[in-house]
Amino acid sequence: MFGGFYTVKYQVNEASARSVMYVHGGKMLGGNSAFAHIGTYEEADDEVAVEIKTIRHNPDQTFRSAAGLDTSTLITRGRPDGTLYRFEGTLKELPGAVFRAVLTPVEEEPVPTAGGVGEGGVVDGLYSLRLRTLDGVDAGLTGVMLLHGGRILGGDTLFYYVGSYTSQHGRWKGQILNQEHTPAKDQDPVFGGREVGIGFSGTCDAEGAYLEAMALAGKRSLRLSAELKLMHRL
């Protein structure tokens, strides 16, 4: 059965990229450091038919899409290959382009138990994420984060995030574990090459959320802040 949390390696013709994807109940939601993926799927026998809209969430043009487009629509079909799923298709905007992807499941063991969400809690949905370090440390991340019933799943071009939270009355708090899905030490010396545990608290409303956090990266403690903007409500 197609479903769960996956890391994704994909290419359009010869250009390649990486992202994360959550698959459940006919919906596919994910993204990476600059783009969000919002789509649907249908299963028939051992084949999966998918349509996904990709939308830029990070205005930094140094992050280019594999298709060379800020917005695109993917039409693809896939089949299981052991625990993996392999897809091939094309883009509506580039009919001659060849899209290929491999989805690798993230093991369920690292995912913490979901917390509780009460009245006035953070909205379920897919968010863009912009995280920065404080106290003069030059580092940060941009990515996507899925918040759903107390569980956090997300990621970017190099990392994936799993975690849990509780939320009510415009406040939220929780924990996140940041891990590599692609070797990152050379590109990100602060977060790369290690698991990073993050504890956070902050505020939330109908449009997004804000948090302040303390991260433990190896033996180093870092103060962080992050802004989340709702892109797609569940």
CATH dotted code for 125-233: 2.40.128.380
CB 141 within 8 A of CB 128: no
What is the pLDDT, as a whole number, of residue 112?
Answer: 59
Does residue 1 have a pLDDT over 80? no
Task: Report CA-CA distances (Å) from 113 to 164, 166, 172, 175, 212.
Answer: 6, 11, 16, 11, 21
Does residue 186 have a pLDDT over 90? no
The reply to whether domains 4-105 and 125-233 share a CATH topology is yes
DSSP 53-78: EEEE----TTS--TTS-SEEEEEEEE
Average pLDDT over the chain, rounded to an integer: 92
What is the pLDDT, as a whole number, of residue 234?
Answer: 92
In angstroms, the CA 138 to CA 74 distance is 36
Strands 84-91 and 94-105: antiparallel
Q: Whole-model pTM?
A: 0.93
What is the pLDDT, as a whole number, of residue 188?
Answer: 78
Task: Report CA-CA distances (Å) from 93 to 14, 41, 56, 101.
Answer: 17, 19, 15, 18
Q: What is the pLDDT of residues 34-72, one digit of tens each?
A: 999 999 999 998 999 999 999 999 999 989 999 999 999
Lowest-confidence pick of 75-79, 101-105, 215-219: 215-219
CB 162 within 8 A of CB 110: yes
What is the pLDDT, as a whole number, of residue 137?
Answer: 78
Q: What is the pLDDT of residues 108-141, one digit of tens each?
A: 555 556 678 999 999 999 999 999 988 877 778 8
What is the pLDDT, as a whole number, of residue 192?
Answer: 78
Fold classification of 4-105 is: Lipocalin (2.40.128)
SS3 111: coil
Closest CA to 84 of 171, 131, 21: 21
* Domain positions in the chain: 4-105, 125-233
What is the pLDDT, as a whole number, of residue 99?
Answer: 97
